[in-house]
Amino acid sequence: MKKLFLLLLTAFLFIGCSSEEENIYDYIGTWSGKYEGSEKGTWYIVVASDGKVTGTMHSDDTNENYNISGHLDTSGDLNAVIGLPADGEFRGTLTVEEDNEKGSGTWRNSVPTPDRSGSWTGEKE
């Protein structure tokens, strides 16, 4: 009975880990797009296999670059900050469906002052 229990427990652990890895796996890679609002420009992020997100926003208005860093969970929810140290936020959702890999959300940046904010859209490259 113990062997059967251990076998089933091991199988469930592999199934649980596998589906989580598959969900993150679908998001791994480079995503890019445009942002607009009180400022406009382009952005790109790279999603790693552990869900870590790194990237850059480039402002067409100020010709400045801002770092993006954060995390993506297995459901596609993106929670990132702008700047080092954090001066703003870059949040939204990435969606991976058949032939439809898109993302959208909101951004806010407080450097340089005054605060600027708006929305962003993009897709997986």
**How does pLDDT run across 27-63, given as a tens digit for each residue?**
999 999 999 999 999 999 999 999 999 999 999 999 9
Question: Please, what sign has the CA dihedral across residues 38, 103, 42, 80?
Answer: positive
Task: Note the pLDDT tens digit of each residue in 84-122.
Answer: 888 999 999 999 988 889 999 999 998 878 899 999 999
Residue 19 has pLDDT above 60, yes or no: no
**Domains in the chain, CATH or no CATH each:** 34-124 (2.40.128)
The 3-state secondary structure of the chain, one letter per residue: CHHHHHHHHHHHHHHHHHHHHHHHHHHCEEEEEEEEECCCEEEEEEECCCCEEEEEEEECCCCCEEEEEEEECCCCEEEEEECCCCCEEEEEEEEEECCEEEEEEEEEECCCCCCEEEEEEEEEC
Mean pLDDT of 64-90: 94
Read off the pTM: 0.80
At 97 the pLDDT is 87
